Structure 1
Amino acid sequence: MIKNLRVDHRLLHGQVAFSWSSFLGADCILLASDSLLNDELRLTTVKIARPPGIKLVIKTIDDSVKAINSGVTDKYKLFIVTDTIEGASILARQCNIKNINLGGTKSATNKKKLSRAVYATDDEVELLKELCKEGIKLNIQMIPSEPEINGQSVLNNL
């Protein structure tokens, strides 16, 4: 059962590893990233950050979609974390996930600020708007104890 799909450019760190995992009751974290497997330093770092007692799986976006759709992940309380908005959109659309948690994306001069930790390019903003039109709920929330911000409302006010 998929507990949450989160976008967080840092992938696995304290907020994700401990706050979110325990809040969700997750027993498996799937890091869905096309760049992580090619970055030995980041790969080592996320493996060290794995909370005890929680299975950690690292796959590309396409391999994540295949695993989820095959049913092999059904036995887990699965927490999916991806590092890009595009990756989240692929997972949501191809795996019929109806909610995306925007937790953190890097700031840059070509990005709009959606919240204190979420930034998006014009193309990403359009992609998020498309997801909303498709019935996918977006929420912005760094940690579970913070109030959820309705992502669609934020996008409507840009």
Structure 2
Amino acid sequence: MDVRLLRIDSRLLHGQVATNWVKAAKVDRILVVSDGVAKDELRKVLIRQATPPGTKVNVIPINKMLRVYQDVRFAGLKVMVLVECPLDAQRLIESGIRINSINIGSLSFSMGRRMVTDTIAVNQTDVEAFTWLHNRGIQLETRKVSTDSKRDLWKALRENGLVKKTV
């Protein structure tokens, strides 16, 4: 399986993802990987409705993603993987999904979260997951759409005093 884009976005699939990222990443299929959403029929219906015509979407739990990633029947599949939080991205990579960068779209603000960009709010669990990812050489880039300039999330975390500067 060729993971063309791994995106963290608390909104999962929405207009920007459906219209821009699918074309930019040249994917055959969108995989929404979420234990919670996989059990929620209403959210699955809404995700299917947001999918662009001609693009297939599957909503699957994390463990199933790990199984299909290794399955030779899906070797030629070009996918965009959407997860809701950094911890889910960490779980995928810890279990063998190979990627060099992660796109972070939006992490919604709520109590206990701190805004680090205009669209990304993090809590301590997020910072720990991003640190784990960064320490493995994975680029953490923020862009709403593919035509936006890449911004380094790690730099934003440092500037906000959430991680230590490295030499």
Q: What's the TM-score, normalizing by structure 2?
A: 0.88
Residue 61 (1) aligns with residue 50 (2): no
User: In 2 relative to 1, CA 86–37 (structure 1 residues): closer, same or farther, beyond 3 Å?
Assistant: same
Residue in structure 2 matched with residue 84 of structure 1 by the alignment: 85
The number of residues matched between the two structures is: 158
Shift of 1:123: 2.0
Cα distance change on mapping 1:10 and 1:2 into 2, 3 Å: same
Secondary structure, counterpart of 2:104 in structure 1: strand
Distance 1:93 1:17 in 2: 27
Consecutive unaligned residues in structure 2, runs of 5 or more: 161-167
Letter in 2 for 1:12: L
Q: Find the counterpart in structure 2 of residue 106 from structure 1.
A: 108
Taking the aligned partners of 1:150 and 1:72, their CA distance within structure 2 comes to 35
| Separation in structure 1 between the aligned mates of residue 114 and residue 40 of structure 2, nearest angstrom | 27
Instruction: State the Cα distance separating 1:126 from its structure 2 match.
Output: 1.9
Match of residue 146, structure 1, among 145, 148, 152: 148
The percent identity for this pair of structures is 26
TM-score by length of 1: 0.93
Instruction: Note the aligned Cα RMSD (angstroms).
Output: 1.3
Task: State the 1:73 CA deviation.
Answer: 3.1
Which residue is 1:93 aligned to?
Answer: 94
Which residue does 1:116 correspond to in 2?
A: 118
Matches of 2:75 and 2:30 in 1, distance apart?
A: 13
Aligned equivalents of 2:19, 2:154: Cα separation in 1: 27
Cα shift at 1:53? 1.2
- Secondary structure class of the residue paired with 2:22: helix
Which ranges of 4 or more aligned residues in structure 1 deviate by more than 2 Å? 69-74
* Structure 1, unpaired ranges of 5+: none
Cα distance between partner residues in 1 of 2:84 and 2:116: 16
Cα distance in 2 for residues equivalent to 1:93 and 1:72: 22
